[in-house]
Amino acid sequence: MNRYILVTAGVAFLAALFTLTGMVWLTQILRRFDLLTSQGQSVWIFLTITSLALPTLLLLTAPIATFLSITYTLNKLGGDSELIVMSASGMSPWQVFRPLAIFTAAVMLFSAFISIYLGPLSVRTLRDQMSAVTADIVSNIAQPGRFATIQKGLTFHIRERDSNGILRGIFVNDSRDEKAMTTYVADRGQIVSSDAGIFLVLEHGTMHRSAPQMRNASMVEFERYAFDMSQLTGGKAAESRASDRSFSELLNPQKKSEDPAADAQEEARTRIELHKRLSSPLYPLAAFVIPFAFLGLPRTTRQTRGASMAGAGFAFLVIELAGFGTWGFVQRNALAWPLPYAVPLCAIIPAVLAMSGLVDFSVPASMQKHIDAISARLQRMQEA
């Protein structure tokens, strides 16, 4: 019986997980499709970059897939009267609980592995890959004599390219900062990779900087200037730095600036990322105990399970939405860090009490009578 329940829940979980993740992944594929169309990258690079988003997507869809699989399994056992047979043979609800708890524990370990290790690793790899793609656009794909827009507000132009990879007649216009516009003009340059990142090293050029509040634009001549290509991975580096860090780096953050305001913002991002990773395994547990509390007890075939399924779905939806809403409080107030843990626990504790018989989540008998009558009437109309 344990094996039967595990197989039923596992197959339903994989089906829901692959379906949900595939639907969300499709949006990532469409968003990155410009890698093939306008940036001329290979299909392999395209699939690599889009696949690196899968660990993060799996972390989001795993609790939902867990809820759907547990609900499906319990509804199937109840609809086929298997729960009634188990109860009549002397089996307690805890014997049904055990295999589902083992299954949920495996999902929690899976979520913890992604949250703590695989997810941050994929984010770092994705940003490195995007930096390499951007560098490849400048060094190989950008056509001499044409202006290439790498991203909004950033335009490159090269006069010619030598066979050894040296770029000549380089023009870079950077207007991503609304407060100022910077233009780089250099005689030559080349793409250089190092442990610090990927850089476009410009030689013998000038940097022009102008802003609306400046009366006169400033100009600086340089012999060599390294333009950081790693910043072109999308968004500001400071905003995504916490998600790139390993778990040990989040536990022991180091100050990297002398600006107290910047340090406070970075501390808030680090705090959010740390508690997000630690609290994520609790949501699959909530996705298990909520439907079990509503659907785990045996019922006759005349008692409809629709109301219980609706109640379980509503409770799980509230927990998911509340979980997303806690991060704003954690960012604004360091004392709010228990909230990401309190939200799933607010569902887990009452559900465990209900499974123990201390709390009753079943539909009241008077309401159940009306629901059964409506259900029977609808069934007769369908048969007619």
Indicate the DSSP class of residue 259: -
Both tokens of 171, joined, read 């023009």
| Cβ–Cβ < 8 Å for 180, 210 | yes
Please state, in angstroms and rounded to a whole number, the distance separating the CA atoms of residues 199 and 226: 6
Give the per-residue pLDDT at 255: 63
Both tokens of 69, joined, read 């699989």
| Cα 107 from chain centroid (whole Å) | 16
| Cβ–Cβ < 8 Å for 232, 134 | yes
For the segment 276-293, the average pLDDT, to the nearest whole number, is 90
| Cβ–Cβ < 8 Å for 181, 210 | yes
Share of the chain above pLDDT 70, in %: 73
Q: State the average pLDDT for the chain.
A: 78
Please state, in angstroms and rounded to a whole number, the distance separating the CA atoms of residues 204 and 206: 7
Q: pLDDT class for 370, splitting at 50, 70, 90? A: low
| Cβ–Cβ < 8 Å for 130, 233 | yes
Indicate whether 246 pLDDT > 90: no
| Cβ–Cβ < 8 Å for 58, 21 | yes
| Cβ–Cβ < 8 Å for 118, 55 | yes
Which among 282, 361, 356, 347 is positioned nearest to 316, based on CA atoms? 347
Give the per-residue pLDDT at 239: 43
Indicate whether 20 pLDDT > 90: yes
> What's the pLDDT tens digit per position in 298-338?
665 545 567 778 888 888 999 988 888 887 788 788 788 88
Instruction: Report helix, strand or coil for 61.
Output: helix
Please state, in angstroms and rounded to a whole number, the distance separating the CA atoms of residues 44 and 29: 13
| Cβ–Cβ < 8 Å for 372, 302 | yes
Q: Tell me the C-alpha to C-alpha distance, in Å, between residue 80 and each of 75, 77, 208, 308, 334.
A: 8, 5, 75, 17, 50
> What's the pLDDT tens digit per position in 145-204?
878 777 777 888 888 888 777 888 999 888 877 778 889 999 998 888 776 667 888 999
Could you tell me which residue, 45 or 222, shows the higher pLDDT?
222
| Cβ–Cβ < 8 Å for 367, 375 | no
